[in-house]
């Protein structure tokens, strides 16, 4: 694939960006390097390599749901500005 000014303009339009001429040259050089890297990867023989879908063979590994570090009601409500015996009290946010 050849990177030219028309391609840079098209990419700028699609991404809704505006570039100075010096920036366009830098982007053009970067794109040519990226395409060169991909072309280099295409030289590799990957005929016997399975596609990688996940980084490991493990699926849905869950930990046990264990209760740890319980707090008493007194400790929970100790720093609450407003509360009753069972609930935090907060200002009303929905007005009728």
* 83: β partners: 88
pLDDT value at position 29? 92
Measured distance CA(18)–CA(11) in Å, rounded: 10
Q: Provide the whole-model pTM.
A: 0.47
**pLDDT tier at 18 (50, 70, 90 boundaries)?**
very high
Measured distance CA(46)–CA(29) in Å, rounded: 28
Q: Report, as an integer, the average pLDDT of 29-56.
A: 88
């Amino acid at each position: 694939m050849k990177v030219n000014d028309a391609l840079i303009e098209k990419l700028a339009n699609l991404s809704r960006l505006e570039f100075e001429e010096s920036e366009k040259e830098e982007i053009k050089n970067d794109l040519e390097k990226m395409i060169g890297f991909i072309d280099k990867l295409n030289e590799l023989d990957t005929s016997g390599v399975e596609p990688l879908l996940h980084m490991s063979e493990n699926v849905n590994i869950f930990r046990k749901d264990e209760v740890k570090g319980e707090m008493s009601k007194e400790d929970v409500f100790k720093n609450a500005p407003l509360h009753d015996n069972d609930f935090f009290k907060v200002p009303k946010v929905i007005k009728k």
